[in-house]
Amino acid sequence: MQSQEQVKLLEILSSVADPEIPVLSIDEMGILRGVAIEHGRVKVTITPTYSGCPAIDQIAQDVSTVLADNGYPESEVLLVLSPAWTTDWMSDESKQKLRDYGIAPPCRTTDLSQSSEEQRLLFTAPCPQCRSLNTQIISQFGSTACKALWKCNQCKEPFDYFKPI
């Protein structure tokens, strides 16, 4: 159950984005895990995407700043590891935003969990530019911890694929 104030706080926090994926808010990314008010202090809980995500300190700082700018000078940002972040927390709408931004969104991890290594190799990420399935992986590691590097054989453009974890 969300109180009116929580709704307001979530609205304020919707302007905070992961600096490496500016098109999604931390709520849409699943990084924002909770907002509470305890003894007049705002307590925001966030979780990192990857263990070594360099953006997490920036995000924590942005949360404090945006809250201070909106009349909540006293806030606390709590970092939790459990439950571990998963790309499955992204909604279909968020995935569409990623695609529009030029990043191929992750498939569901549940679709992968039963598949063998051979099936994994057959998987192709659809090109976010031309939607072609005639694509191939270049490297499992890309421009940031959360992305893999792919290329499209149809439109010849390289693209980032958000890795399902």
Partner 1 sequence: MNNDLYTYTLRQADNAMILCQRLCQWAAKAPELEEDIALTNIGLDMIGQARSLYQYAAELSDKDISEDDLAFMRDERQWRNLLLVEQPSGNFADTIARQYFYDVWHLAFLQELVNCNDEMLAAIATKSVKEAQYHVRHSSNWVKRLGDGTELSHERMQEAVNEMWQFTPEMFESDEVDQRLLAKGHAADLSKVKVIWDTAVTALLEEATLIKPDEAFLMSGGRQGIHTQHLGYILAEMQILPRSMPGCKW
Question: Is 137 within 8 Å of 117 (Cβ atoms)?
Answer: no
> Applying CB under 8 A, does 65 fall inside the site for partner 1?
no
As measured in angstroms, the least distance from the Cβ of 52 to partner 1 is 3
Binding to partner 1 by residue 60, rule CB under 8 A? no
Residues 49, 124 contacting (CB under 8 angstroms): no
x/- string (CB under 8 A) for partner 1, residues 11-30? --------------------
Within 81-110, which residues bind partner 1 (CB under 8 A)? Answer: 81-86
Out of 2, 3, 15, 51, the only residue in the binding site for partner 1 (CB under 8 A) is 51
Site for partner 1 in 112-131 (CB under 8 A): 117
Choice between 2 and 51, CB closer to partner 1 = 51
Q: How many C-beta neighbours within 10 Å does residue 13 have?
A: 21
Residue 34 CB, shortest distance to partner 1, in Å, is 16
Residues within window 130-159 making contact with partner 1, judged by CB under 8 A: 138-143, 145, 149
Single out the residue of 19, 34, 54, 102 in contact with partner 1 (rule: CB under 8 A).
54
Binding site for partner 1 (CB under 8 A): 48, 50-54, 81-86, 117, 138-143, 145, 149, 163, 165
